[in-house]
Structure 1
Amino acid sequence: MSCLFSCKKKNFILTSIHGQQIELNDSIADMDSITNFVAPYRDRINEILDSTLAYAPRVISREDGKYNTTEGNLMADIIMSEANPIFKSRTSNEIDFVLLNYGGIRSIISKGNVSARTAYQVMPFENSIVIAELTGKSVRELVYFLTNSGVPHPISGLQIILDKNNNLQSVNIKGEPFNEDRTYFVATSSYLLTGGDKMSFFKDNVGVTDVDYMIRNAMIDYFKKIDTIAPVVDDRFIKL
């Protein structure tokens, strides 16, 4: 009996938790052994990130236009350029238009050399490119969202024209009038596909194709192909 009682399971109850915040700053001394071990890897990564891929003759910003901007246009055009061949090879279909979100652009592209680090600064998120097939009804909701959002969300392949009273005058997709009786293939980010940034119309998709391609990687691939990057504010979204 004494053995049975001595082996009885004890129940422990947590009564308190104590913690201490330790600030990590430059006052903490380096350890030479760690620094020396990491140095070659750090230097190689910095070399890759900072190697010049292209050149920007002027600042490219998401804030240089009311309805469309140089940086937004560049981002959307990159998705169209780099993702469409992959999508076409896998599905025999083509992307009809691209929609990204204004808030996803996190840095300007400064005048001067453009590198892989530039892509990480502009797009620090791990968002990938997906193509959602949307009904005409969902596309109409998408257009309504854009005309009322108050910010220039990046688009490519889609043209929206407002009259002087802010009424919708026309919608064109790849140069053709919008047809509500068909579906459209819309390239966007994995974040927006789930309804991020209040773009709930993406959740009503007919189908989705993931092209296994990070937005940031598409930017880097594009920069490698283009000598000079000089996007402009154009007529893809205008008010007459």
Structure 2
Amino acid sequence: MAKLKHFGILNIKHYVIFITIINLLSCKNTPEHLTELTGKQLAIDSSFTSVDSIRNFIQPYHDRVESILDSTLAYAPYVISKSDGKFNTTAGNLMADIVLSETNPIFKKRTGHDIDMVLLNHGGIRSIISKGNVTSRTAYEVMPFENSVVVVELKGASLMKMVDYLIKSKRAHPIAGAQIILNNDNTVNTFTVGGKPLDKNKSYYIATSDYLVTGGDNMGFFKDAISKTETDYKIRNAMIDFFSKVDTLAPKVDLRYYQLQ
């Protein structure tokens, strides 16, 4: 009888342990998974009113940002526009020259090479620079996008594809560091980079935007890239840095890209 008694106690213990394990497993948190995502449009109209506590909390930060954006950095003695020239414009020339001057020290420090040429896109310039004070807000108006500068290594033969693209596009895409002279029948009369005739077998370093490198504006010639260097330098920041260094902005429509008559 004693053996049966102990046997029963052992069975009861095993049963209690089994039930405890089951309970513990059943109480274990089941991972949650997103099964559905819904949304609805909320119209912002006069029925919405500001919350004083939130507005008062944000106001100092808002005022600080506004003061930084509106602090005068430089002066424009006339309107700088992307529509004041057929092959090159004041705004385009300014943008391309800024990318060249501000990015080249960064690129040279990283690679030991100089940027040979800059190519941007006409459509990337989103505003004029009005006559008067130039501020950080001006840079945000001209370049509201988060595009950064990428330097692409291309052979001279690919640069000829670039020139062909510029001729066919019939738009004043900003360039710097090179000169393109067309005959009156739209054929190339002269193409120099850094003041020297193009060498089709030589590698050149072209600064452009990350948008164009990926084929934006149908600039397919960038697919020929031998190498790409990400500078992590936003074009807008380059503008602000340049504005901070100069007193007056005075870009001109010049002879970097024109057509003989």
Match of 1:110 in 2: 130
Which whole-Å CA distance do the structure 2 matches of 1:144 and 1:72 have between them?
Answer: 19
Q: Letter of the 2:57 partner, please give it.
A: F
Q: Letter of the 2:225 partner, please give it.
A: N
Match of 2:3 in 1: none
1:186 aligns with 2:226: no
1:217 aligns with 2:237: yes
Q: Against the structure 1 CA distance between its residues 120 and 148, is the aligned structure 2 distance closer, same or farther, given a 3 Å change threshold?
A: same
Match of 1:145 in 2: 165
Determine helix, strand or coil for the equivalent of 1:144: helix
Give the C-alpha shift of residue 148 in structure 1: 1.2
Give the C-alpha shift of residue 25 in structure 1: 3.3
Alignment of 1:59-138 (within 5 A): 59-138=79-158
Q: Against the structure 1 CA distance between its residues 57 and 27, is the aligned structure 2 distance closer, same or farther, given a 3 Å change threshold?
A: farther
1:233 aligns with 2:253: yes
Runs of 4+ with >6 A deviation:
none
Which whole-Å CA distance do the structure 2 matches of 1:75 and 1:21 have between them?
Answer: 38
Q: Against the structure 1 CA distance between its residues 18 and 157, is the aligned structure 2 distance closer, same or farther, given a 3 Å change threshold?
A: closer
Which whole-Å CA distance do the structure 2 matches of 1:229 and 1:172 have between them?
Answer: 26
Query: Which residue of 52, 60, 74 maps to 1:40?
Result: 60
Q: Against the structure 1 CA distance between its residues 167 and 45, is the aligned structure 2 distance closer, same or farther, given a 3 Å change threshold?
A: same
Which whole-Å CA distance do the structure 2 matches of 1:19 and 1:89 have between them?
Answer: 48
Give the C-alpha shift of residue 27 in structure 1: 4.4
Determine helix, strand or coil for the equivalent of 2:254: coil
Which whole-Å CA distance do the structure 2 matches of 1:169 and 1:218 have between them?
Answer: 33
Q: Against the structure 1 CA distance between its residues 72 and 43, is the aligned structure 2 distance closer, same or farther, given a 3 Å change threshold?
A: same
Which whole-Å CA distance do the structure 2 matches of 1:26 and 1:203 have between them?
Answer: 50
155-164 vs 220-229, which moves further: 155-164
Q: Against the structure 1 CA distance between its residues 177 and 44, is the aligned structure 2 distance closer, same or farther, given a 3 Å change threshold?
A: same
Which whole-Å CA distance do the structure 2 matches of 1:149 and 1:122 have between them?
Answer: 22
Give the C-alpha shift of residue 91 in structure 1: 1.0
Structure 1 gaps of 5+ residues are 1-13
Structure 2 gaps of 5+ residues are 1-34
Determine helix, strand or coil for the equivalent of 1:28: coil
Query: Which residue of 170, 178, 181 maps to 2:190?
Result: 170
Which whole-Å CA distance do the structure 2 matches of 1:128 and 1:18 have between them?
Answer: 34
RMSD (CA atoms): 1.7
Q: Letter of the 1:86 partner, please give it.
A: I
Q: Against the structure 1 CA distance between its residues 230 and 31, is the aligned structure 2 distance closer, same or farther, given a 3 Å change threshold?
A: same
Q: Letter of the 1:78 partner, please give it.
A: I
Identical-residue share of aligned pairs (%): 58
Q: Letter of the 1:143 partner, please give it.
A: V
Which whole-Å CA distance do the structure 1 matches of 2:64 and 2:198 have between them?
Answer: 49
Q: Against the structure 1 CA distance between its residues 167 and 50, is the aligned structure 2 distance closer, same or farther, given a 3 Å change threshold?
A: same
Which whole-Å CA distance do the structure 2 matches of 1:27 and 1:128 have between them?
Answer: 40
More helix by share: 2
